[in-house]
Structure 1
Amino acid sequence: MIGSETSTWGESGLGTEQELQRRLSLATPADTVRGLSFHTSLDAVRADLGEAAAAHCLAQVPEKSFRSFFHYPISDYLRVLYTSAWMLSDRHGGFDNAIRRIAGGMAPGFLASTVGKAFLLLSKEGPKHLINNMPVAFRAAASFGEVSLHWVGPRHGLLHIRRDFLLYMNHEGGLLGLFRALELPGTRIYGRQVGPLDNEIEFSWGD
């Protein structure tokens, strides 16, 4: 999409084994994500590196198949996500961009689902109406996290997600995928980690 931007300067330093272990140590059995998240990561690896690479990612967790709208431990997803991003790093210019590449596939997969199609109907009233429902969409995808949305201007917003096990690059890539699906021009998306498990994502669109 012409004019799209994300916070691609430098690496965040979040792609280390130590950071993965830190996040795993904070997770509880109640912290889950839908199987769709696993599909998105594995599909990205499969598309870019082949079936054997996807099988290697899958070998990191006990479960070998995932139903899109069933719940699975966030700890298992983090293992798959990090392994996927490490494997994709060379191809996509680093760990952070690999996460964005993976997360970019989330919106198309979600919007193609029955739940996603219901959300997409909201876009007929304008993208802002759809984006206003992002906290609900996040809650549908994950059991953890507290999402708040603040509008800075008509096409300029700020997402704050507390106790979020995902990386801010996940949200950058996911938003970019959503904005592409909505064909919004001139998108700008900048994320940052503002606490041990807190992320802030600033976004805007338009010329």
Structure 2
Amino acid sequence: MTSLGSEEELFQRLTSLDPTHTMRGFFFNSVLEVVRLLGDESAVKHCLSAAGEPRYLDFFSYPTESYVRMLYTAAKRLSDRYGGFEGALRVMGARTVMKFFDSAAGRALQVVVEGNPKRLLENLPATHRMGLRGGHCTLRWEGSTRGVLFIERISAPAPFIEGALHTLFEATRARNLKVASRQTAPLDVEFEVSWE
């Protein structure tokens, strides 16, 4: 298996993506905001250039391939500051969730889950469907405080999603929170989330 963040791995991910898959502009803007906060304006311009658009509208849909190019460019630019490529992805995943909480969809999700980690996990497949076209997210329970999210045709690398999930569940004040991932195919990943 090629190493995460290498040109070979990026090429494999891009060629495995379905060209009809799209993501809301919100995700692009979240990455750009994180890069602004954690990097600098020249890094933002570099990310826009890699993705191929001068700007993104939150509720419009754009090719997932463009998002992946932007995400990898951002992680490479921030890797020295955040412990490497994986560390930068985790930080961006966490910061994206913080931005999500400020959005109308994020506030609605917080109202629905009422700080309950079980309810949050139950709602993640539907939240996934709202923001992305393509890929599948399903949930399997393995106990009352442990579940496995299975994401097929995942766009973002596992460390990004781990960072996002950790921040999502920290907001519920779950104790002894653990998030771990296991890649089952080039674009399929299981995320085990548990708490007490």
> Fold conserved (TM > 0.5)?
yes
- 2:32 matched residue in structure 1: 42
Does the CA contact (< 8 Å) of 2:75 and 2:88 recur in 1?
Answer: yes
Larger mean CA deviation between 17-26 and 74-83 belongs to 17-26
- 2:84 matched residue in structure 1: 94
* Residue 85 of structure 1 pairs with residue 80 of structure 2: no
Structure 1 residue 130, shift from structure 2 partner: 2.2
SS at match of 1:164: coil
Structure 2 counterpart of 1:164, from 154, 157, 175: 154
Larger mean CA deviation between 166-175 and 23-32 belongs to 23-32
Scaled by the length of structure 2, the TM-score of the pair is 0.93
CA RMSD of aligned residues (A): 1.6
- 1:16 matched residue in structure 2: 6
Structure 1 residue 29, shift from structure 2 partner: 3.1
Structure 1 residue 138, shift from structure 2 partner: 0.6
- 1:111 matched residue in structure 2: 101
* Residue 66 of structure 1 pairs with residue 48 of structure 2: no
Identical counterparts, % of pairs? 37
Q: Which amino acid aligns with 2:96?
A: M
- 1:200 matched residue in structure 2: 190
Structure 1 residue 125, shift from structure 2 partner: 7.1
Deviations 1:109-158 (A, max 9, x none): 22222222221112227221122010000111111111111111221111
Deviations 1:79-119 (A, max 9, x none): 10000001111111111111111111222222222222221
Does the CA contact (< 8 Å) of 1:40 and 1:103 recur in 2?
Answer: no
How many residues were matched structurally? 195
Scaled by the length of structure 1, the TM-score of the pair is 0.88
SS at match of 1:202: strand
CA distance in 2, matches of 1:125, 1:181: 7
Deviations 1:148-185 (A, max 9, x none): 11111221111111122221112101101212222222
- 1:148 matched residue in structure 2: 138
Does the CA contact (< 8 Å) of 2:180 and 2:193 recur in 1?
Answer: yes
List runs of 5+ in structure 1 lacking aligned partners: 1-11
List runs of 5+ in structure 2 lacking aligned partners: none
SS at match of 1:29: coil
CA distance in 2, matches of 1:139, 1:90: 33
Structure 2 counterpart of 1:187, from 134, 159, 177: 177
Structure 2 counterpart of 1:174, from 160, 164, 167: 164
